[in-house]
Structures are given as structure tokens and as C-alpha cells.
Structure 1
Amino acid sequence: MVRERGISTSAIIGIVVVILVIAIAGAYLATRGGGAPATTTASPSTTTTAPATTTTTTTTVAPPKGTLIVAMGTDASTLDPQDATDNPSEMVNRIIYEGLVEFDQNLNIKPMLAESWDIKDNGTTYVFHLRKGVFFQDGTPFDAYAVKTNFDRVLNSTLKLQRYSLYAPIISSVEVIDNYTVAFHLKMPFGAFLNDLAHGAGLIISPTLINSGKDVKTNPVGTGPYMLQEWVKGDHITLVANPNYWNKTAAPKFEKIIIKVVADDKARENLLKTGDVDLVLRIPPVDVASLNGTGNIITRAYPTSRVIYIAMNLMNQKFQDVRVRQAFNYAVDKEAIINSILNGLGKPATSPLASSTYGYCYAGYYKYNVTLAKELLKEAGWWDRDGDGYVENANGQKLEVNLWTPQGRYVGDYQMAQAVQSYLNAIGVKVNLQVWEWTSYLNEVRKPYNQSQNKELFLMGWAPSTGEGDWVLRPLLASWMWAPAGSNYGYYNNTQVDELIQKQMMTLGQDRLNAMCQAQKIVYNDAPWIFMVEMYDTLGMKSNVKGVVYLPIEIVMLKYAYSG
């Protein structure tokens, strides 16, 4: 609940941080040899400059007070933004860290740690002019060297960071022009580059932390309005206000934000009803309307860019016939799932991309058809040969599959998996359903193909944190992104799709959109997934919780929240 407190721990933290700032800043400057060497900028060309925003640092702000308590279904897996691939981690990271640029609630790009930027050399050079007077939570100054240290780290292939694959195909090098000017040299013009910087992987880590050798994922240090105080894995994360936050107009309003992990949907809802939490992620859709206005509770449902899908391990012999994969798609009644489990809050998936994602085109629709599903299985050599209700191949082997799912990560995830189990049973496929804790689940699905023999069907969701289609097609479907290098967890491989993904990375305008569209249609016909639904996201909160910003990429921005 939003709680008032008489003694501010942030005030104590502030005293300690102020004492340390000079020492740490001095040490950091010493490690990089004092001032920046003079360097020559790239040759001038057509320049596009983003509007600068200015923030006065003399504004008097009220000290933070009270505690905001939030309940979400799954824990963060890492607080290292360059190694995070899940939204729970990104949501927490966006409170602790900041990037050069940031999305607004409509996914427009706005300045953050960069005040403005120039685009030069036919789109292959981006020069950022950095905000001055910003310090990391450990007292290290933010500057061009900090930016370069971060991107040098994520571009270091030996570190095997998950987000290497986001930036390495695009960024050639990062150059310090002076203390507060940094240039990104790209390997090619790439129209989505600013979106990629607004991705959670573009959040800037303290270079002092990076150089210390400490594990970033449990020792996060950024420039954001809140800092990590405690992380009890599987239970809660406690963040405290940053007393030296640079942006006085957006200073933290709460002394603490506590994020509790509560897997069960109804249990989270009940905590809101009893007043034990202030905000709940993923209210059961069936309760969104009835809960709204109950006491001091308000609910919200937001369309998102997330597609829920059930991936198939294509290295497994069971799924190498496209007719089997298409049969599984026809066997599942997506509209019934949307109506019965999601209470109408969703749309059937008609592409790997959600219809709200930039670059989407309609690729097809596997409309529920049990007869066609059974015909396709029979064509592939699977039918009920002994009359026991399950299909067998010519050797008498039954088509039996494992279906994995998290519980509480996505709205209705477990219930959707149960429905799929029932639908596949109806066409003679025996399905063994297994529920996983989220972090363990991610660790398992990320394994390379030769270590994933038991991974067969597994429910996943993807909302591109760049807000556009490249960051669906490339990480999920490019052959060079097979796990663990990327998020192609089902090991999909199509040479034509690879070529189209590369083409859309190197072209602009309608040519890029055409390549993306063609790739979507091929993938949909190949059916490497059971294409499920485009999701809505649901929130419930007390009516006095204000300032929460929802991004369509399924990120809840808590850093602006206040009690009012």
C-alpha cells in the first residue's frame, strides 16, 4: 500500500552518496586519463537533429515519502539490461537505469541522457550530444566514456551477453568525440536504430561497476530515480529513491518501491482487494470489468504488441513434417480461448508480429478445423490405427508430446496451455503438460538444441521492446539466432527467410516493409509455432496511484508513479 513514513532512509543514503561522489568520480576520471583527447568528427552530410529538452537543476522538490507496493506474476531474471530478454527484468531495469533515448507512451522517441542527436553520412553515423551534470548512483559521472564503455561491453562477443545479437549486426564502432559527445558508426543505414537504443538493452550501466568485475545482474547501478536495496529472489525486489537524481522535474515521489512476486492471478487480485498492495499486473481478464470501481480500485486493459505462441522444437523428428505443424495450428480454437480465458481481451494471431507492430502484414489465419487437422496428420502418416483414440505412425508409435508453460508470466498462460492440451488430445495427440517457474523456464528453453531433447512444445510470448518488426523476425526466426545465441528457441531455419530478414535490415521505406511482409507469410505457412493470440495487458490499482505509464511493448513504467 502507499504508506507514509516519518524517517526517510533516502536522506541517510543521500549523505553517504554525497560523501562518496568526489572520491568515486576522481577514481573514474583517473582510469580514463583525465580529459578527452581531441578527435575529428566524421565528414559532414545531411544532418537531422532531435529537439533538445532542458531540465532545470535548481527546482526545489518535495522529499520522497511512502512506499508503493506492486505485485507481478514472475520475478525478474537479471538486472543486467544487456543480458535481459524478459519483460519482468526490463520493467525493473527501466526504474534503475536510463538510456540515451526513451519511448513515450505512444512509442515515439524522446531524449533522455542524450539531449539531441545528428544523423550523418547517409544514415551511417549518429552523433549524440549528452546531458551534463548527471551522475550514476555510485557517484560516477555520466559522459561519453560511460556510453562507449557500455556499448563496447555489449559488443564483446566473448562475454556472450544476450543482447549482443541486437547491436552487433548494426554497430561498427562507438567513438568518443569529447566528454559529452559520442558517435555511433553503423555498418549500414538502419532505420530502426533509435528504436534499438530505446530498447531495454540500451540502458546505461555505471562504467565503474562494469570495470569492477562485479556481477551486474545482482548489483545494478544506473542513473535512474530508484536504486536497488534488496532482491530476495522469487519473493520481492525493494528499490529506494535516488537522492541525487538529476531530473528534478521527475524526481522520485516514493521513498520505496517494493515489487512482490505472486504467481497466482487470483492471489494478486485478492492482495489488491485487501489493500495489501497498490498495483497489480495482469488482473484475470474475466474480473477486469467487475473489479473496476470496487472500493477504491480501478482497472485498465491495454492492447499490446505481444503475440503468444507455442513454439515447436524443430530439431525433434516429431515436428519436421510441416503437415504435423499445420495440423496443430488448425486443431486449436483461438477464438474460443480469447472468449473463454481472456474474456474477449485479445485477437487471433495472423502473423509472427502483432497488428500494432510497425511492419506487420496479414500472413494468414489457421481457423479452427478439427477435420482438416486430422486429415493433415493422416497425410503425414499419423492416424488412430488401434482404436484407442490416439494416433500412431506405421511403427505403432503414438504421437506423444511434452507441453511446457510458465504460470503467471502472461495473462492466462497456464489456462491457455491447458486448452491446447485438450485441443490436441481431441485430434489424437497425447500431451503431457508441465508448469515451470519463470527463471528456470528461461534457462531451460535457452539451451542449445543438443541439450534440449525434452523440450518439444513450449508456450512463449514476445513483444518487441524496440516497437517494430525487425526485433521480432530477427531474434525469433533468423537461423543465426538459434538459442543460446538468440531467442530462436525452436531452431527454425529457412534460407529464404534469412535473406529477407537481412534485406529488411539494409533497406528503407516500402522495400523494407515488403521484405518484412514476405518473411511473415513464409513463416506463417511453415508453422514453426502454434500461432495463438495478440494479447491485451491488464492492470489493477488503487485510485490514488497516479503517473503510471503503460508502453504498448508491455512495459509498465513505475518510475513516474506518485500518490495523489
Structure 2
Amino acid sequence: MTRTSGFCARASVSALLSVGLWLSASALVAAQDLSPVPIIKAVPSVPQQLDHQTKYEGETSSFIANEQASSLLQFDVSELSNGGCGQMPNVQTNLRPNLAESWSVDPDGKFIEFKLRQGVKSSFGNEMTAEDVKWSLDRGLKQSSVLRFLAFDMNSYRKDDPVEIVDPKTIRVHVDKTTIFDLVIFHWSQFQIYDSKEVLSHATAEDPLAAVWLAKNSADFGPWVITEQGFVPGNRITMLPNPNFWDTAHRGNGNSLIVLGVPESATRSQLLRSGEIDFAALLPFQEYAELKDSDTVDVVNCVSGARDTLLLNYKDERLANPLVRQAISYAIDRNALVQGVFKGFGKPAVSGIHADYGVEGLKPYIGYDLDKAKKLMAEAGYADGFAIKLTISPTRPGSHAEQEAVFLADMLRQIGIAAEIELVASGSTFSERFFKGDYDAMLYLELPAFADPFYSLNLMNHGSSFQNSFKYANKRYDELVTEGLHLKAEDTARRQAILVELSEIMAENPPQIYLVDTGIPLARSKKVAGWEIQLHNGGNITAYKLKKTE
């Protein structure tokens, strides 16, 4: 296995802090009691380009996209435990306006109407209008399979021109049938609202949506500005304040947000411990455990619907065999994974639905039974086993991936399966491999954006899902998930019955091998206050609100 070379931490951070940092006085209105300072976070990898609608690079893009905060809505975590860390937001009730000032739903369920906030301007001085919103949403639906999945598969937006301009400050999004996710997807970062006037000034006949320019620059209505000069693809992004940002009342004292691509987790941990950075994403669990004793670092384990999973590709007839899939599941000692790899930051998966969703009546069908695993392999015709390649990346599920893969390979060896571990260092390459289905087996992280079991079940396993790259196919499963997505919130009995039946289907033929129901550990500097979790994964802080003391 090959490794990415180390990172010259101190020299590189010092160099970044001395170049290109400025802050207009207007951006510091809310933080006059503190000196302007850079906010710095280190992540495993930085995206190769910035146009998240045209090319979303998974976890690598999310480190950047969610900081841009140019969405109509956001999660309201003000009443949730520890800024959303200790309590997952409800997808229907814990929402707040962002670029939208308010919203309403048609009594007949035919459309959602958004009233836009007045006086919102981009860094280029252009005020946001309904034209910007429609152009941005239309662009996203054209460019992004993720957004098409959210709008047309998970939800039932009108496929023919769903976004209507009512007046310069009002839009309507038309739907064929309401779901519980109709509003929450306007929190998702790829539904980014652009300054269409500025973007289109960079369009060409060959590139009418200005994807080339947006790959290296930002033009939105969020708190930060990214220019080509501040972007080193795959290495570093320097975000500077939008001098026209509408929400200065909640702005912290960050005169920049610097995102460093630091592949080596030990380096990210050392930078945080030494005080040179403020946030380190996706550290090994051992390092989180050790950082708990630090005087300078806070470590918290946030709730989430996240799960480490083993994907088995149905294109391989050996791995498509339900008996083989059951055998692999029974061969895995999840308690050993929780203690040896996760250091207690998780619990063994016991069913196809994350335990933290609290669904009652589920049969705990997942367990460790080596003798049963061997019998199932023999029954499937593979008593002598076979060889596979296990593809992993430190970018997803995280820097613990290699250790977890070694544990898994040792366990699978006991039923005759020789798993060759293939390490992919680049987050972009790993994401491409995943979406193309270019793997035998892949260690992955199921990380739902919205905390609801139907979202999780639809996200990965539904036959039409863009993330079902392993090609699981079950007609009844799809029917049940689709029904669940359109249930009224008060129809709790039917919701419960569907989830129980779905769990039974997954017990018979596991779509994925669920490993560990994990929380999301976050390690952050004690010098920084005002943390808020907008999405439940390792890098999604809202840094523009942070206040940092020296």
C-alpha cells in the first residue's frame, strides 16, 4: 500500500497566515470586542474544483460547500443540545430562514412559496433576486445528479420547470406530491444560490453555465468569497469575508477561513494540539481518545445517523449471492471493531436501521457467528473461499479506514475470503470509483444529510438512487421506501410497520454489510466559541459565526 507524503505543518501554516489576509471594517461589526484573526481547519483533502453543482466530490466538497452558506434555509439548532451536536434536528420543525425570509406551503400541497430576504448582496454588489434563485436552482438540477435525486426521487417536484418566479422577491417550487423532505433539501449546500449576473458575465458559447470560471471562483450570497488567487486545487483554500454579507449581526471575528488539505491524520492532530489550527476533521479514533486529555482541545462525540458499512458489488456473482453476503456479515465481530478501532466512539450495528433513530420492533438480526458463516459459505458453494479486493480511503470513512480494513481482512480470512487491501489516498479518486461502481468490496461511510430513517434507506439502497453504485435491486424494498417518503408526519403506525418490513427484507439479503453505528467525534480548539453543526459529519462547522481569542 502506498501513502501520501507528510505535510510540513509549521512552515506551511505560517506561510499561509502571512499572505493575502485582509478584512473590511464592515465585516467586523459583530466582533469589535475581538481582534480579527484567521480561522483555520485541516481536512484530509481539498477539492480539485469549486463548482459543487457540476462536480460534487463527496466529503471533500462538503468541507467547503457547507461553509459557503448560500442556501435558502438552514437548520435551526439554537434550541438543540450543544449547537446540534447532542441532538439531531427534525427535518420538518428545526428549520430557519437564511437567504429566504419566510416560506409557506400551498394548502393543497401543490407548491412551496419562498419570500426572499431584502438587501442581500454578493461580494460583487449585486442584490439577490428571484431571477438569481430560479437560475441557480435550474442550473443545479441540470448539472447535479445529487440534486435530481433529492428533487425527483426522494421528493416529487414537478419535473417540467418546477421553479416559478412570482415577483422579484418571491418564487414558487411546484410539487406533484408532498413529502417530509420538501423543505429541508433547500438547506443542502448544492442548492447554492449564485449571483447569476456575475456568473453569466464569465459564460461563453462553449460554457453557457460558466462552469470553468466557477471551478476556481465563488459568486454567491454567503459569508465568504473565494478567488482563483486563494485556491490551490487539492491543497488549500482561503476564504475571505463577503464585505456585503447580510448577517453581520452574527458574524464572528474571522478575517479569513483557511482550509488546508492535510492527508496525514497525525499531522492534523499535532497542528490542533499545538494551537496552530482551530479544527481537525476526521482523525483516527485513537487520536480523539488521546486528545480528550488535552488542555487546549475540546473533543465531543456528536449524534448522527452515520454508519461504517462494507459495500459488496452485485456485479460480482460471488458477492451477489445472498448466502455469501450473510456469511460475510456473520464473520465480522463488530464488538471487536468498536473496541479496537473506534475506541468506544460507536456501537455495533444490529439491524439495517441505525439504532439512534429509535425505531421500535426491529429484529436484531446482525451478529457474530463464525460457525454459521462457514456453513453459509459451504452452502453457497464456496467452502474454500475466494479472493477479493477491498478498496479503502482515509477520506471516507476516515483516517481509521486502514486499521478497520485490517481487522476486516483478518475476520474474512477465517471463512476463506482473501481480501487484498487497496488504499486510495485521493478523496476525489475514491469518490469517482464509488460512483462508477469500480470496486469488488469497498469500506464506506453511510452519512445521511438529513436525520430520518427513510432518508437513509432511500439514500443508498433504492434501485434509482445515485448512490446505489453496488446495484442492490429489490422491488418490494423500493415500493416500501417510496411509500414511506410520502407518508404524512402523523401516520406513525404505518411508518413503524414499513420500517419493520424493510428490516426483514435486509436481513434476508443484506444490501450492505452494516458494521458500526458511529457518532461524529469533533476535535476543536478551546480558543474558539460559537460552534454550530449544520450537517452531521466531520468537517461541517459554520465558521463565519465563530469568535476566537488569541
TM-score calculated relative to the size of structure 2 = 0.83
Equivalent pair of 2:532/2:542 in contact (CA under 8 Å)? yes
Establish whether residue 166 from structure 1 lines up as the match of residue 179 from structure 2: no
Q: Match of 2:546, as an amino acid?
A: A
Q: Which residue of 1 aligns with 2:184?
A: 195
Cα distance, 1:466–1:11 mapped onto 2, change above 3 Å: same
The within-5 A match list for 1:18-33 is: none
Contact 2:57 2:427 in 1 (8 A): no
Aligned counterparts, 1:304-319, within 5 A: 304-319=304-319
CA distance, structure 2, for counterparts of residue 356 and residue 432 of structure 1: 33
Q: Measured at CA, do residues 8 and 496 of structure 1 come closer, stay the same or move farther in structure 2, by a change above 3 Å?
A: closer
Say which of 393, 408, 413 aligns to 1:406: 393
Distance 1:488 1:8, change over 3 A: closer
What is the alpha-carbon distance in structure 2 between the residues aligned to residue 551 and residue 358 of structure 1?
21
Cα distance in 2, alignment partners of residues 338 and 136 from structure 1: 46
Q: Is the 8 A contact 2:311 2:513 kept in 1?
A: yes
Does residue 210 of structure 2 align to residue 214 of structure 1? yes
Contact 1:314 1:528 in 2 (8 A): no
Q: Distance in 2 between matches of 1:160 and 1:542?
A: 35
Secondary structure at the counterpart of residue 129 of structure 1: strand
Point out where structure 1 has 5 or more consecutive residues left out of the alignment. Answer: 15-56, 385-390, 392-398
Aligned to 1:46: none
The structure 2 residue matched to 1:183, chosen from 148, 172, 176, is 172
Q: Write the distance in 1 (CA, Å) between the matches of 2:482 and 2:459.
A: 12
The residue type equivalent to 1:139 in the other structure is G
- In structure 2, the partner of 1:226 is 224
The answer on 1:86 being equivalent to 2:99 is no
User: Counterpart of 1:416 in structure 2: which amino acid?
Assistant: E
Q: Which residue of 1 aligns with 2:42?
A: 71
Mapped partners of 1:361, 1:134: distance in 2: 48
Kindly tell me: are residues 562 and 187 of structure 1, through their superposed partners in 2, closer, same or farther at Cα, counting changes over 3 Å?
same
User: Measured at CA, do residues 351 and 270 of structure 1 come closer, stay the same or move farther in structure 2, by a change above 3 Å?
Assistant: same
Measured after TM superposition, the shift of residue 85 of structure 1 is 6.1
Shift in Å, 1:78: 5.0
Question: Which residue does the alignment assign to 1:123?
Answer: 109
In the alignment of these two chains, the number of paired residues is 497
Provide the residue aligned with 1:491 in structure 2.
Answer: 471
Query: What is the Cα-based RMSD across aligned positions, in Å?
Result: 2.8
For residues 343 and 218 of structure 1, do their structure 2 counterparts lie closer, same or farther at Cα, with a shift above 3 Å needed? same
Task: List alignment gaps of at least 5 residues for structure 2.
Answer: 1-12, 78-83, 204-208
Q: Of 421, 431, 450, which aligns to 2:409?
A: 421
Distance in 2 between the 1:548 and 1:287 partners? 21
| Distance in 2, Cα, partners of 1:175 & 1:422 | 56
Indicate how the Cα distance of structure 1 residues 175 and 80 shifts in structure 2: closer, same or farther if over 3 A, else same: same
Matched to 1:136, the amino acid is S
Equivalent residue for 1:112? 98
Q: SS state of the match for residue 256, structure 1?
A: strand
One-letter code aligned to 2:391: W
Higher relative contact order (CA closer than 8 Å, sequence separation 6+): 2
The more displaced of 260-269 and 354-363 is 354-363
User: 2 CA distance for matches of 1:496 and 1:85?
Assistant: 31
Q: Percent identity?
A: 21
Residue 9 of structure 1 aligns to which amino acid in structure 2?
W
Q: Is the 8 A contact 1:241 1:255 kept in 2?
A: yes
1:146 is aligned to 2:126: no
SS in 1 for 2:545: coil
How far residue 543 of structure 1 moved from its aligned partner, in angstroms, is: 1.4
Q: Deviations over 1:126-162 (max 9, x none)?
A: 1111100001233332122212112222333xx4543
Q: 1:283 to 1:59 in 2, by over 3 A?
A: closer
Aligned counterparts of 1:262 and 1:98: Cα–Cα separation in 2: 26
Report the 3-state secondary structure (helix = DSSP H, G, I; strand = E; otherwise coil) of the residue aligned with 2:330.
Answer: helix
Matched, 1:560 2:545: yes
Task: Tell me how far apart the structure 1 counterparts of residues 73 and 496 of structure 2 sit (CA, whole Å).
Answer: 24
Residue identity in the other structure for 1:559: Y
Which residue is equivalent to 2:529?
A: 546
Following superposition, the deviation at residue 295 of structure 1 comes to 3.8
Q: Distance in 2 between matches of 1:66 and 1:445?
A: 38
Q: Is the 8 A contact 2:528 2:547 kept in 1?
A: yes
Larger-Rg structure: 1
| Aligned equivalents of 1:513, 1:113: Cα separation in 2 | 35
AA aligned to 1:123 is: G
Give, as a single letter, the amino acid of the residue that structure 1 aligns with 2:36.
K
Partner in structure 1 of residue 24 of structure 2 = 11
Shift of 1:527: 1.1
**Structure 1's 557 and 11: CA in aligned 2 closer, same or farther, altered over 3 A?**
closer
Q: Distance between the aligned counterparts of 2:268 and 2:254, measured in 1? A: 22
Write the deviation string for residues 255-284 of structure 1: whole angstroms up to 9, x where unpaired.
111111222222211122233322212333
1:532 to 508, 515, 528: 515
- Map 1:294-373 → 2, pairs under 5 A: 294-357=294-357, 362=362, 364-373=364-373
Provide the C-alpha distance between the structure 1 equivalents of 2:28 and 2:225, rounded to a whole number of angstroms.
Answer: 22
Q: In the TM superposition, what whole-angstrom CA distance separates every residue of 1:387-419 from its partner, at most 9, and x where no partner exists? A: xxxx3xxxxxxx110100001433412211111
The superposition leaves residues 40-74 of structure 1 with CA deviations (integer Å, 9 ceiling, x where unpaired) of: xxxxxxxxxxxxxxxxx997763972212211123
